[in-house]
Copies of this chain bind each other. A is one copy, B any other.
Amino acid sequence: MSNPQPVAGLLLFPGLTQLDLTGPYEVIARLPGWRTEIVAKTIAPVKTDRGLVITPSVSFADAPPFDLLVVPGGPGTDDAILDAETVEFVRRQGEAAQHVFGICTGSLLLGAAGLLRGRRAGGHWAARDLLTQFGAEVSDARMTKDGKIYTAGGVTSGIDMALRVVADLAGEDVAMGIQLQIEYDPEPPFNAGTPFVAPAAVVERARTAGAARRAIRAAAVETAASRLRS
Q: How many subunits of this chain does the assembly comprise?
A: 2
B197 touches A185 (CB 8 A): yes
Q: A163 near B: Cβ within 8 Å?
A: yes
Which residues of chain A in 168-197 are interfacial with respect to chain B, using CB atoms and an 8 Å cutoff? 172-173, 175-177, 179-195, 197
- Interchain residue pairs with CB less than 8 A apart (21): A17-B26, A18-B25, A23-B23, A30-B50, A36-B51, A53-B57, A104-B183, A156-B184, A157-B185, A160-B186, A163-B190, A164-B189, A167-B189, A172-B190, A179-B193, A180-B198, A181-B206, A182-B193, A184-B188, A185-B194, A186-B188
Interface residues of A (CB under 8 A from B): 17-19, 22-23, 25-26, 29-30, 36, 38, 45, 50-55, 57, 104, 124-125, 142-143, 153-157, 159-160, 163-164, 167, 172-173, 175-177, 179-195, 197-199, 201-203, 205-206, 209
